[in-house]
A and B are shown apart, each in its own frame.
Chain A
Amino acid sequence: MLEHAQIRQILPQRHPMLLLDRVVSIEPGVSIRAIKAVSACEPCYAGLPDGLDPDSYAYPVSLLIESFGQAAAVLWLVSTASQRDSRPDKGAGPAADAPGNAAGDDIFLFGAARDCVIESPAYPGDVLCHTARLGRVLDGAALVAGEILVGHRRIAVMGSLIAAIRPARTIPRRGGTHHGIT
């Protein structure tokens, strides 16, 4: 199991775009189960007026997919940590020495999502449970598929997500922080 502190060592996203709370289980190279608690205190609920239809308060689909994508990113980053650690161009410094750390290494970028079906919405109080399975991995790209469950209820099918993998040094940084890169 990987808790928040360890997830920070792996993913470059930070508040408010770090959308993965805990990794429940991981089989490197194969699959991951990870969770994210949806809460009414998240930025996407700020400024929403009262009195809307209940489904207007559904957690945004874009963030469901982003959160799933971050689970996929952890899977890929943990799976490839030992390969990346031994690369001569690996970034130097204490943060980069942590296992699977993305700070000096490769960033898992959202490329495309296909055949994704949102079957029912998620609301504050729901705990999203992502199951992501690694498919074909190529040099510079990876395909992932899976589902999102809330309890026993499947709320989404992620048919095919394709991620581009690029060295961190090739990605421009704004103001010293990464912004929503999966």
Chain B
Amino acid sequence: MKEKDILIDYKDHQVVLYAEKSDNTIGPVQTGSYVTSHYYNEFLSLMGSLERSLYEKLQKGEISPVFLYMTLEELTVSELALRVKIPLRRVKKHLTVKHFPAVKVDELRRYAEVFNIPVANFFQVIATRQDNKWRMGYSADMENKKPLTISQEETNNPYVVFTKPEINQP
């Protein structure tokens, strides 16, 4: 691959590729990511539709919150069990609506740490984006037109989160 063939102007996702330079050497070239620059919207739409369908199922009581986050984070049950240090059989139970109420609070905290969310998020669905810049899956939604952002801050108590609605700056 020649250097000139891989150069892509995409500042948001930079990668280093190796390519043949004009002096016949092969060296590193910092450039934009081809896949992100061409398929980012496609990726957002795929993940957005998955997120929406999972939240719908959650609200209908068809899946447990643990199942929702495990699927969104693309973890398998075995990997999740290893990460939360809970026996596989027990994790499998926590994925079902029937057995989710049997999850202990400490176990929820461990799940929350793996999913990097506050414990409170297992019991609520927040309709507005949590973060204008980074939060994905809602970018094409009309809901984003609302001038509200919900931000959540950790407190020193691992079981409590500070949820703060804010008016977006124009």
Q: Please indicate whether A and B come from the same complex rather than being unrelated chains.
A: no
